[in-house]
Amino acid sequence: MSRPIPLHELGDKEYIDPANQACQGCGGAIVSRLVSKALGEGFVRAEVACCGPAFMNIRAPSIYVEVFEGAGALMTGISRGLKRIGREDVVVMGIIGDGGTVDIGFQGLSAAAERNENILWVCYDNEAYMNTGGQKSGATTLYAATTTTPIGEYSRGKLERRKNVPLLMAMQGAPYVATASVAFPEDLLGKLIHAKGIKGFRYIHVSSPCPTGWGYDPKDTIKVARGMVQSGLWPLYEVSDGILRLNYKPRELKPVREVLKMQGRFRHLNDEEIDRIQREVDTFWRRLVAKDGGEIF
């Protein structure tokens, strides 16, 4: 299990170039910075189509392919190639968006997990295809407004619940699966450092709010991310060899209303819809708490 890294233990060295072309207050930019800081040296990075080219100026050998669905295959190839030349010490890491993980890239992800490839898959989840203007993805929360699920006379936003890919990966038997959030850097860094030391398929799903697509002021990125964790919309947990552990377990969750109302994409919600989201969050949380410290299946 991972151990949170206190901020004063962090080195000052940066592995990313200052200033990037991401939006102001980009959550994904924080993810790429923290990931590179945690892994330090000795990793190669795979990248597929996403906002990444705008902000991931990470100083590491990087391979970019435009093939949106190809992240799993790409990382598999790099990892097998490194094995062939006897460099299994090099970590193969990909920072992949939620579209390239949850929808388009899912077959590659699932197959790579099945084969237990020696890769570290970091999904930075802004809950839609933000690079192309914010179309809904499988990771979009229920009732969220996106450009393909707009609010109008006959539409109330996304009608489906989000796919729970971290648990899917855990059920496929991946050695290490974790969720994390940009608002909890100590926890995120700890999980990355722990994952670095494991062989096999590792999956970390990071909630990274997007001010442009979610419709909030850029200064509130961390506030929104923190609110999602504190309200149970984004629980922090890890599954190591089939044992689940909650990393953030408050005595009582905050109501979801507050964090939903901070975001423009949920501004249209009425009380009934908020209640439904609240009920689903409560159910999922209850099940997670029941599994805490035990086997997930």
Q: Quick one: 20 or 164, whose CB is closer to other proteins?
A: 20
Q: Quick one: 25 or 99, whose CB is closer to other proteins?
A: 25
Min dist. Cβ of residue 17 to other proteins (A): 7
**Would you give the binding string for other proteins spanning residues 8-27, x where CB under 8 A is met?**
x-x-x-x-xxxxxxxxxxxx
Among 101, 137, 221, 278, indicate the residue that binds other proteins (CB under 8 A).
221
Distance (Å, whole) CA 209 – CA 111:
28
Interface segment toward other proteins; rule CB under 8 A; list 6-14, 68-76, 112-120, 156-164 = 6-14
Among 43, 55, 234, 266, indicate the residue that binds other proteins (CB under 8 A).
55
Min dist. Cβ of residue 7 to other proteins (A): 4
**Would you give the binding string for other proteins spanning residues 138-177, x where CB under 8 A is met?**
----------------------------------------
How far from the centroid of its chain's Cα atoms is residue 140's Cα? 12
Question: Residue 262: how many CA atoms within 13 Å on its side-chain side?
Answer: 21
Interface segment toward other proteins; rule CB under 8 A; list 82-90, 220-228, 229-237, 276-284 = 220-228
Contacts of 154 (CB under 8 A, 6+ apart): none
Three-class SS state of 278:
helix
Contact, 172 vs 202, CB < 8 A?
no
Three-class SS state of 81:
helix
3-state helix, strand, coil in the chain (%, to 5): 40, 15, 45
Q: Which of 232, 222, 208 is nearest to 262 (CA)?
A: 222
Distance (Å, whole) CA 132 – CA 117:
30
Min dist. Cβ of residue 112 to other proteins (A): 29
Q: Going by DSSP bridges, is the β-strand pair 176-181/237-240 parallel, antiparallel, or unpaired?
A: antiparallel
**Would you give the binding string for other proteins spanning residues 196-215, x where CB under 8 A is met?**
---------------xx---
Residue numbers at the binding site for other proteins (CB under 8 A): 7-8, 10, 12, 14, 16-27, 29-30, 33-34, 54-55, 133, 182, 185, 211-212, 217-223
